[in-house]
Structure 1
């Protein structure tokens, strides 16, 4: 088993601003409507490729078909193959309690199922995600599953904890992945840093499973140094991108609303937030 840890300092995000952005996303979703022609934004612009095929819009039991990428391909890229399919099901939709969505994708013989559940969406307290990826004709080795959970209340409590406070028994953000050959887990902890920033600690644990534990342990021992370097580089790069995005200035509510609505209308989300 290999256990790697890295701590980085990043710019903090205000909780009220975070919750404002989350509420804005839900407001935009709930302002859409559906009809025979597909989905429409509040201003009447269509959302390409999205169609309600069962149930009532944004109600439990609703099912949508989604064209993977109806926009024109970029230079050098080709259109998606006809074999690609995507469906979205609404399991729950109550902003006072929870919103749960399940997405199923199939392409080139690979199937993926993603589940997301946001608790108390008007003031997000927890986000849970699940992933199952498999190739039905590829045998048991071509399967991977994972789960992740962010306890947002615990995150904000840790981020605002007084100096010298003991860390919580459990990390507020965790993720686990499982494959027939091994498993991996990631845990994120946060505490206040100088200047109102956050110090985020990232811990990665990797191990083999069953009879593969001895050879996996040997491989991790042999490649421990390059694995550590890659892990540190990845964490540092993610931290730098986060800080650059936040320090660059978060968009106003009106600018964010316009940008998100435009991205839905074009089905070509921007790489960066508006400035």
Structure 2
């Protein structure tokens, strides 16, 4: 087994701002309407390019959408027969007071992937649970991976605003587990407040081999610990730098400005 620990310093985020903006995003999505297979913003607003309702009622359990990332070709591509290169999103649950759950599937010659996500109490975001499976259709068992991620937002805010000297939470607010034929990996992320209005975020990665292949994985980890440790710390530092860059680029938009920007982005 190999274990890597690193701590980064990031600009803190205000909980009230985050929850107001999350609500604004959901309000924007809820205000959209289905017109035939097209999705329009508000009542009679512009059509959202790159997305089409294939089945069911808009934003109701069972609703199925096809999505393409190429907005320039969205009209022709989405009106054609379904393509394996398109992303299919299915709504499994849509109740603002309790939970929103969606499933995303993607199939191409290089990758088949399935991702499920469920957000509890969306109007005041509680916990986000994500599961994934991916494989190369033309590859063997070594080209498959699966995993789960869980973010407990109330626990995150509690840890991020704890008093100095408080014990760390018993469980990390953010945990990601991944499984491969050769081994398993677990990533945990825990914030704590620091002087100057910032968070110190502890990141821990644990990697271990599996079953009969454990000796092979252990040998690879033994010789690869130094570059792995360097890559792990570099990745964490880059993520923290990007976070700080975004928050330092100017005042954060309020919920109204964010909703207006989101409407413009969807229309484009």
TM-score using structure 1 length: 0.89
Q: What SS is found at the alignment partner of 1:203?
A: strand
Q: What SS is found at the alignment partner of 2:72?
A: coil
- Structure 1 residue runs without a partner (length 5+): 74-81, 267-275
Which residue in the other structure is 2:190 paired with?
189
**For the Cα contact (< 8 Å) 1:110–1:134, is it kept in 2?**
yes
The count of residues paired between Structure 1 and Structure 2 equals: 258
**1:38 and 1:24, CA in 2 relative to 1: closer, same or farther beyond 3 A?**
same
Q: CA deviation at 1:27?
A: 0.8
Q: Structure 1 stretch 154-163 or stretch 245-254: which is displaced more?
A: 245-254
Which residue in the other structure is 1:252 paired with?
254
Q: What SS is found at the alignment partner of 2:167?
A: coil
What are the within-5 Å matches in structure 2 for residues 1-275 of structure 1? 1-36=1-36, 38-42=38-42, 44-71=45-72, 83-248=84-249, 249-266=251-268
**For the Cα contact (< 8 Å) 1:68–1:84, is it kept in 2?**
no
- Deviations along 1:51-78, whole A, 9 cap, x unmatched? 21222111111111222423369xxxxx
**1:161 and 1:131, CA in 2 relative to 1: closer, same or farther beyond 3 A?**
same
Alpha-carbon separation, structure 2, partners of 1:141 and 1:65: 30
TM-score using structure 2 length: 0.91
- Structure 2 residue runs without a partner (length 5+): 75-82
Alpha-carbon separation, structure 2, partners of 1:247 and 1:135: 40
**For the Cα contact (< 8 Å) 1:188–1:203, is it kept in 2?**
yes
**For the Cα contact (< 8 Å) 2:84–2:106, is it kept in 1?**
no
Q: What SS is found at the alignment partner of 1:233?
A: helix
**1:36 and 1:184, CA in 2 relative to 1: closer, same or farther beyond 3 A?**
same
